[in-house]
Structure 1
Amino acid sequence: MDERGSLTECFEEHRTRLRAVAYGMLGSLNEADDAVQEAWLRLHRADTGSVENLAGWLTTVVARVCLNMLRSREARREEPLDVHMPDPIISHEDGGDPEQEALLADSVGLALLVVLDALTPAERLAFVLHDMFAVPFEEIAPMIERSPAAARQLASRARRRVRGQAPAPDADLTRQRDVVDAFLTAARHGDFDALVAVLDPDVVLRADGGVARARQTVVIHGARAVAEQARTFGRLSPFARPALINGAAGVVVAAGGRPLSVMGFTVAHGKIVAIDVLNDPERLADFDLAGLDGSP
């Protein structure tokens, strides 16, 4: 095999992990693909003959590309939105898609991605690479032009925010689904007390309506306020279909092949602690929801 063929084979071996790194960094599937493609181009332009750890080299390249994309995104954002929902990864509850499962190997839930979006680019890079992909701080430091100690501090700061705003979900998917089903049943019947019973007192509901809806964003805190909002969901509940949203129990609301909403739930200690909703029609139109809308 020639050198180019060997590089191609090596890159393909690491592509899935590189895409997972980029998705964790960016929260966008399209941008993650762009970052991986840029790493591919740089690999073919670079002299890698003296590189001992090509996997580490590729991870560094992807991370730096993502860092530049995050900085560019931050510079373009004239006024931060209340909430911008990351791209959800939607799959059937029986799983079966190895690539999606690989993307979610580190439990990159929607709630976590929303919190990561509020970090500085350097904080996000340090946290994602170290806490999610076990990259040593000695390798992270040069990417952000800081010392290893400073990189460690950035990750620690990010970790505190994540723990406070995106608690780890219950590991038992069946338990998650039971709680979500109880929520949907209560919403369908307009049962306020039953809704409050399945919600954590400090639950947060975040919904992104997108630019098409004049950047209509919603952030609601507290069980009673979220329960009041959830009762309005009752009319749509007949169109809700169970799905895995970033590996956790969630629902897709679709009718006649047209997606209306994607709802991700974070269930911790048997209560719903976060509900993350994507209502943006333009973004929803890009998702393949075959088999999730009740159609054959």
Structure 2
Amino acid sequence: MSDELAAEFAEHRAVLVGAAYRVVGSVADAEDVVQETWLRWSSADRSDVRDVRAYLIRITTRLALNRLRQQKSRREQYVGPWLPEPIAATPGEQDPAAVAEVADSVSMAMLVVLETLSPLERAAFVLREVFDLPFSEIADTLGRSEAAVRQLAHRAREHVHARQPRHRVDKARHLELTNRFMAASASGDYQQVVAMLAPDVELVSDGGGKRRAALRPMYGADKVARWLIAVITSEETARMEFSTTELNGEIAYIAYDGDEVDTAGFLAVGDDGLISHLYVVRNPDKLTGVPRRNQLC
């Protein structure tokens, strides 16, 4: 019986990691949450469970909410801006078609927007928009009335949609834009860099106090261009090599210091085709899920 139970849980494990990751923004925390879900599942009365996947997602989300609340003091003491942890694969989905379908929900831009929601709004959004659970089940998960959950989900959806581009840039275009932008930055071509940035572009860099990064978000094409060129052409960065790969279901650039990952960066493109946001992750604790140079195919 225990082997059957473990096999049944393993069938849904990737989906559960994906659900937890969308709530907490950290693979390590998501893995801990799913381990706790397993402990709950292995000792639960399963006689009334009709939909194992939905049941496990609800448990996982509830535990992820608790973990998110526990993170509050850690976030408050964090040095500089906090960005979610990049991942090399879309958690929770293995089929290529499914990966494409849910990529938006784990993109860096989406995770950053989810960070601005309240914990309950974030959970309601994930359960409804990503996993399509009925409002009655979400209400049971969050311990709120169905009417309250509908309001939470509505506010979260409106908030997210207001901050997301209406049109997603295809990967070929995103790759071309990323390569061109990094080449212009590395060459110090200020005019070309500025021409690719939206006038109100935002740059957020996360060094966690362990690597050099801007301690506050930076705004405006001129300021962002000058900062990027100064960093990329600095003596520290000159020895690094840049490459592109897919992280969080989207194109990202990686700076390698030898075989080690130094930086992972994401460009969000607005409806006008200009770069609207840049997210730069340098905290080494958050780069463990990014392939080292010798691991790339």
TM class, shorter-length = 0.7 to 0.9
TM-score (normalizing by structure 2): 0.86
Q: Deviations over 1:46-86 (max 9, x none)?
A: 11022111111111110111011112222555457652111
1:164 is paired with a residue of what secondary structure?
helix
In structure 2, C-alpha distance between the alignment counterparts of 1:191 and 1:150, rounded to whole Å: 52
Unaligned runs of 5+ in 2: none
Instruction: Tell me if 1:23 matches 2:26.
Output: no
In structure 1, C-alpha distance between the alignment counterparts of 2:246 and 2:231, rounded to whole Å: 19
Aligned match of 1:106: 102
Give 1:189 shift: 2.1
Aligned match of 1:254: 256
Give 1:18 shift: 1.1
In structure 1, C-alpha distance between the alignment counterparts of 2:161 and 2:188, rounded to whole Å: 32
1:20 is paired with a residue of what secondary structure?
helix
Instruction: Tell me if 1:263 matches 2:272.
Output: no
Which of the residues 275, 279, 286 maps onto 1:276?
A: 279
Structure 2 counterpart of 1:131, one-letter code = E
Instruction: Tell me if 1:290 matches 2:288.
Output: no
Instruction: Tell me if 1:131 matches 2:134.
Output: no
Give 1:144 shift: 2.0
Tell whether the 8 Å contact from 1:241 to 1:292 is kept in structure 2 after alignment: no
In structure 2, C-alpha distance between the alignment counterparts of 1:38 and 1:168, rounded to whole Å: 38
Please, which moves more after superposition, 72-81 or 167-176? 72-81
In structure 1, C-alpha distance between the alignment counterparts of 2:288 and 2:107, rounded to whole Å: 21
Q: Percent identity?
A: 34
Tell whether the 8 Å contact from 1:264 to 1:275 is kept in structure 2 after alignment: yes
Structure 1 counterpart of 2:109, one-letter code = A
Aligned match of 2:168: 170
Residues 231 and 246 of structure 1: is their aligned pair in 2 closer, same or farther, counting only changes over 3 Å? same
In structure 1, C-alpha distance between the alignment counterparts of 2:196 and 2:95, rounded to whole Å: 29
Residues 265 and 214 of structure 1: is their aligned pair in 2 closer, same or farther, counting only changes over 3 Å? closer
What does 1:1-296 align with in structure 2 at a 5 Å threshold? 3-74=1-72, 77-78=75-76, 83-90=81-88, 99=94, 105-107=101-103, 108-167=106-165, 170-213=168-211, 217-235=215-233, 236=237, 239-269=241-271, 270-284=273-287, 287-291=290-294
Give 1:192 shift: 1.9
Give 1:214 shift: 9.0
Give 1:197 shift: 1.7
Tell whether the 8 Å contact from 1:89 to 1:100 is kept in structure 2 after alignment: no
Structure 1 counterpart of 2:286, one-letter code = R
1:47 is paired with a residue of what secondary structure?
coil
Q: Deviations over 1:76-100 (max 9, x none)?
A: 5545765211110136xxx9xx759
In structure 1, C-alpha distance between the alignment counterparts of 2:249 and 2:54, rounded to whole Å: 27
Tell whether the 8 Å contact from 2:86 to 2:287 is kept in structure 1 after alignment: no
How many residues align? The count is: 287
Please, which moves more after superposition, 149-158 or 68-77? 68-77
In structure 2, C-alpha distance between the alignment counterparts of 1:6 and 1:286, rounded to whole Å: 30
Q: Deviations over 1:164-184 (max 9, x none)?
A: 334366241000011112211
In structure 2, C-alpha distance between the alignment counterparts of 1:200 and 1:13, rounded to whole Å: 44
Give 1:194 shift: 1.2
In structure 1, C-alpha distance between the alignment counterparts of 2:242 and 2:139, rounded to whole Å: 45
In structure 1, C-alpha distance between the alignment counterparts of 2:192 and 2:264, rounded to whole Å: 22
Q: Deviations over 1:112-136 (max 9, x none)?
A: 1122123211111011111122112
Tell whether the 8 Å contact from 2:121 to 2:155 is kept in structure 1 after alignment: yes
Unaligned runs of 5+ in 1: none
Tell whether the 8 Å contact from 2:34 to 2:60 is kept in structure 1 after alignment: yes
